[in-house]
Amino acid sequence: SPDAGSPDAGAPAAAPCPMPPLFDWEFAADPYPAYAWLREHAPVRRTELPSGVEAWLVTRYADARQALADQRLSKNPGHHSERSAHGKGKVGIPGERSANLMTHLLNIDPPDHTRLRRLVSKAFTPARAAEFEPRVRELTDQLIDGFAARGEADLIHEFAFPLPIYAICDMLGVPAEDQDDFRDWAGMMLRHHKPGQPGPPRGGVGRAVKKMRNYLAELIHRKREKPGDDLISGLTRASDHGEQLTENEAAAMAFILLFAGFETTVNLIGNGTYALLRNPGQRAELTRAVEGGDDAALATAVEELLRYDGPVEMATWRFATEPLEIGGERIGEGDPVLVVLAAADRDPAKFDRPDVLDLGRRDNQHLGYGHGIHYCLGAPLARLEGRVALESLLRRLPDVRLAADPSELRWRGGLIMRGLRQLPVQFGAVG
């Protein structure tokens, strides 16, 4: 360090190490050291994203929680100033604009958000998620039956990926014979493909979103004529009782339920199982709790898995509608802001020993489902799926173990979500 009296004396202390690169391969495998650096040295940092868009990354828990609830940060991409994006890159869900699916909860502010959220909340209650438990158990068991006798499986491809898509299709009221189409479109949207097979063709994502959109529009039409006991019928009924829900809004709503409820849950099951496999002591304790029928311990564990390595790395886009300050930084009007949930949930100012998985962690106020008016609508369903999936795995495959070195695993590092591409495991085959 410089001597007193040297030209550097009095200059602010340089960071002990430079900022680790963001968004490269190593970052996707383990972003937490980079997030620790940001939290400490640049907690609100303007950063160029891989798409070329510049956005503010907010990484401390207190700032993150405040920003999520700040109504001056709009969800409407119309507030994104071209200037701050340098005209480059795009924000939002791939394909949503061209498929005319922009009017969903994650792109709108009050009063439209209040109206649409009230409407869907009527059809999407926690009680309804609870009623769904037997069906989730049945799906989970069928999927495990599919590979149990083999003694090995890829838990992403054969378990975490199909479970949420079938669950959400059932809930929406997509007939069983059409659900495999959804599985294909969803796979295309995630660029998910069987290991060893080629990925989707260029433009495939946009085409898949359009096919899904056309299908949903037609399904909404059919449900209006002949309603059933499902969510889409519930949405159309709600709109028929005097509340306004245009056909376009209904399609966008169904789309966002699918989109928000799908990859998130894949990653909850994938990242959660992976964390359990890497923490054998904690996992053994949880297995004992499961065997003893301790549902509360299981629910507490799922919350910690969400905090420790949650599916949503950054909350979806927000845009400043006026100049404002976050953590002492001036955010300009129109600037995009990304709240980094994964960084906030490892903040030592909020969580004791944040880098340690503690499945019994008490008072776990993680931000994995967001905060404020856009708090995850599907949290009851996600919790249910996470709980049932992990319980079934631990109960039915008690000796399941990782069949690859962690360094060989590949991560899907999109901007918003983070999850494994494969999770190869072995276990004693069960008949």
Name the site residues for ligand HEM (rule: CB under 6 A): 68, 105-106, 117, 168, 256-257, 260-261, 264-265, 268, 310-312, 315-316, 368-370, 374, 376-378, 381-382
Torsion, CA 96, CA 102, CA 104, CA 105, rounded to 10: 100
Give the integer Cα–Cα distance in Å for 173 and 168: 8
DSSP class of residue 355 equals T
To the nearest whole angstrom, how small is the minimum distance from the Cβ of residue 102 to ligand HEM? 13
Rounded to the nearest 10 degrees, the angle between the axes of helix 162-172 and helix 231-240 is: 40
Tokens read off for 58:
């907010």
- Among 204, 310, 216, 203, which residue's Cα sits nearest to residue 256? 216
How far apart, in whole angstroms, are the C-alpha atoms of residue 323 and residue 339?
A: 17
Alpha helices for 197-294 (secondary structure H):
204-225, 231-240, 247-277, 280-291
Structure tokens at 317: 């886009």
How far apart CA 270 and CA 203 sit, in angstroms, is 27
Residue whose CB is less far from ligand HEM, 36 or 377 = 377
Half-sphere exposure of 376 (CA within 13 A, CB side): 23
25: number of Cβ within 10 Å = 10
Closer to ligand HEM at the Cβ: 382 or 403? Answer: 382
Distance in Å, CB of 343 to ligand HEM, minimum: 13
* Pairing outcome for strands 54-58 and 336-339: parallel
Cβ nearer to ligand HEM, comparing 107 with 422 = 107
CB of 186 to ligand HEM, least distance (A): 13
Residue nearest to ligand HEM (CB): 378
* Closest approach of ligand HEM to the CB of residue 338, in Å: 9
Does residue 60 sit in helix, strand or coil? coil
Nearer to ligand HEM, 318 or 403 (CB): 318
Query: Dihedrals φ, ψ of 278, to 5°?
Result: -90, -5
Tokens at residue 240, please? 């028929």
Tell me the closest approach of the beta carbon of residue 106 to ligand HEM, in angstroms. Answer: 5
Taking the least distance from each CB to ligand HEM, the nearer of 97 and 207 is: 97
**Beta sheet of 44-48, edge-to-edge order:** 44-48, 54-58, 336-339, 318-320, 73-74
Is the Cβ of residue 262 or residue 427 nearer to ligand HEM in the bound state?
A: 262
Q: How far is the CB of 200 from ligand HEM (least distance, A)?
A: 23
- Nearer of residues 187 and 427 to ligand HEM, judged by Cβ: 187
How near is the Cβ of 311 to ligand HEM at its closest, in Å?
Answer: 4
Strand partners, 381: none
Minimum CB distance to ligand HEM, residue 235 (Å): 12
Residue 58 or 286 with smaller CB distance to ligand HEM: 58
In the complex, the smallest distance separating the C-beta of residue 62 from ligand HEM, rounded to whole angstroms, is: 17
